[in-house]
């Protein structure tokens, strides 16, 4: 048996591939375009392991995807591939439309053509799992209930609008063509192999490098943090037992204001790797101009996936953040490889002024 993932050289996809191989004997075909966010170093422990097949390519390339499906005959497709960074979507939305909308459309069409040729048993066992985000639901007020699967879609950034569009395509391919789809909408992830353009890895690495820790606006925006391994286990659970056509919200019940997250990182680093000279890493915190259209609060109501599928996160924020910080401290090779690449150009473009 084989599953095919897209975007498996990225942060969540990479963790998913590593966990999949560690936990099952099933082969995994990994198609990734290797944008700035794709990093094969994450998967270097799998070199020479024939359970992992890497295929360099674009989900928007229909012929390429169709030939992969014909060759490998997967029982499921899990779509992680996306442009994923909100700030980049503000500077240049075109790539988000190209990959998140047109790319997902192409993947759905290739999947549909492949699925239609399967025999009845294979057809009913096949799954297309689309990995999406809580950002499609927009922004919550301070006292609003967390997002449930029935919340209206109100995306506010080019990134979230492109993900919302892809979710609608996935839904339509089920209702119109019967493609057996599943969708997960997850909150903010953190953990190993996270590209340091996102808040948590950026703050860890900037702190260690003695650089400013940039906080957008007042730092009181709230995110609901989930350790990436818990997201991966939720996806495996939905793939195995989710009801076709259903949407599952995935979250950690860990709402935190950004400033509190940054304080926790600084305090943990103060304990694990005290700053040279005097003072705390907190001294490096710098308030900077806010993100345009910045969503104030996200929070996930994860009761459906717990009630229907028995999934719950294992990590608390405290245990997960400590594991994450220790991982960055112990994996300086991975960090050096990332920080010597395109990330540097992005950093200067984003923070120079
Ligand atoms: P990421 O940016 O770290 O990785 C994306 C991966 O997709 C990269 O390896 C990249 O090379 C690849 N890719 C990009 N365009 C491609 C294309 N056209 N064809 C093939 N591969 C392509 O992203 P991530 O943080 O790992 O997110 C993975 C998925 O999970 C995304 O769909 C994202 O919207 C969703 N998500 C992310 C979070 C989060 O907190 N990071 C939370 C909820 C949902
Ligand atoms: O909610 C799920 C989403 O979480 C995913 O769909 C996205 O792919 C993922 O990137 C993430 O989006 P965010 O915009 O919430 O993540 P980011 O790490 O960019 O920012 C987290 C919060 O921290 C947000 O309120 C903006 C703020 N921030 C971010 C950066 C990079 C700062 O204050 N300073 C920074 O330098």
What per-residue confidence (pLDDT) applies to 351? 59
Q: Single out the residue of 305, 135, 156, 288 nearest to residue 231, CA to CA.
A: 305
- Exposed/middle/buried for residue 259 (C-beta within 10 Å: 0-12, 13-18, 19+): middle
Distance 224 CA to ligand 2 centre (A): 11
Distance 227 CA to ligand 2 centre (A): 15
- Between the CA atoms of 258, 264, 270 and 275, what dihedral angle is there, to the nearest 10 degrees? -10
Confidence label for 352 from pLDDT (cuts 50, 70 and 90):
low
- Annotated active-site residue 298? The verdict is no
Instruction: Work out the percent of the chain whose per-residue pLDDT is above 70.
Output: 96
* Domain 2-190+226-252+294-314 in this protein, CATH class: alpha beta
Atom 13 (ligand 1) nearest CA: 81
Q: Single out the residue of 77, 75, 180, 68 nearest to residue 122, CA to CA.
A: 75
66-108 pLDDT, tens digit each? 999 999 999 999 999 999 999 999 999 999 999 999 999 999 9
What per-residue confidence (pLDDT) applies to 25? 85
Which residue's entry shows tokens 């650089």? Answer: 211
Beta carbon of 300 within 6 Å of any ligand 1 atom: no
What per-residue confidence (pLDDT) applies to 342? 47
Q: Please tell me the number of the ligand nearest to residue 9's CA.
A: 1
Q: Distance of alpha carbon 203 from its chain centroid, rounded?
A: 18
d(CA 270, CA 108): 48
d(CA 52, CA 43): 9
- Annotated active-site residue 159? The verdict is yes
Beta carbon of 164 within 6 Å of any ligand 2 atom: no
pTM (two decimals): 0.97
What per-residue confidence (pLDDT) applies to 171? 98
- Annotated active-site residue 135? The verdict is yes
161-219 pLDDT, tens digit each? 999 999 999 999 999 999 999 999 999 999 999 999 999 999 999 999 999 999 999 99
Distance 123 CA to ligand 2 centre (A): 38
Instruction: Work out the percent of the chain whose per-residue pLDDT is above 90.
Output: 92
The answer to whether the CB of 253 falls within 8 A of the CB of 180 is: no
Task: List the domain boundaries for the chain.
Answer: 2-190+226-252+294-314
Collapsing DSSP to helix, strand or coil, 293 comes out as coil
């Amino acid at each position: 048996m084989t599953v095919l993932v897209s975007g498996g050289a990225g942060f969540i996809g990479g963790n998913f591939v590593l966990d999949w191989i560690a936990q099952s004997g099933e082969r995994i075909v990994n198609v990734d375009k290797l944008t700035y966010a794709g990093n094969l170093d994450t998967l270097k422990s799998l070199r020479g392991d024939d359970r992992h097949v890497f295929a360099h390519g674009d989900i928007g390339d229909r012929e390429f995807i169709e030939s992969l499906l014909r060759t490998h005959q997967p029982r499921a497709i899990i779509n992680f591939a996306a442009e994923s960074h909100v700030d980049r979507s503000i500077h240049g939305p075109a790539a988000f439309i190209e990959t998140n909308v047109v790319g997902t459309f192409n993947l759905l069409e290739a999947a549909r053509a492949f699925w239609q040729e399967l025999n009845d048993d294979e057809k009913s066992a096949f799954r297309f799992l689309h990995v999406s985000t809580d950002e499609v639901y927009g922004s919550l007020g301070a006292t609003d209930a967390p997002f449930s699967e029935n919340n209206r879609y109100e995306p506010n950034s080019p990134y979230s609008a492109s993900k919302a569009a892809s979710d609608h395509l996935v839904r339509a391919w089920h209702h119109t063509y019967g493609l057996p789809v599943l969708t997960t909408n997850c909150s903010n992830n953190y953990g190993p192999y996270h590209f340091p353009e996102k808040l948590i890895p950026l703050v860890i690495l900037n702190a260690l490098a003695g650089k400013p820790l940039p906080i957008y606006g007042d730092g009181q925006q709230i995110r609901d943090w989930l350790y990436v391994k818990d997201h991966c286990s939720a996806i495996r659970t939905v793939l195995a037992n989710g009801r076709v056509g259903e949407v599952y919200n995935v979250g950690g019940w860990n709402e935190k204001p950004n400033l509190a997250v940054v304080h926790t990182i600084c305090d943990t680093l103060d304990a694990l790797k005290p700053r040279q000279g005097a003072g705390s890493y907190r001294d490096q915190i710098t308030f900077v101009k806010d993100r345009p259209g910045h969503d104030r609060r996200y929070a996930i109501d994860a009761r459906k996936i717990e009630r229907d599928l028995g999934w719950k996160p294992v990590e608390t924020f405290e245990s997960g953040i400590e594991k994450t910080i220790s991982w960055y401290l112990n994996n300086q090779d991975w960090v050096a490889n990332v920080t010597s690449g395109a990330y540097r150009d992005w950093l200067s473009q984003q923070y120079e002024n």
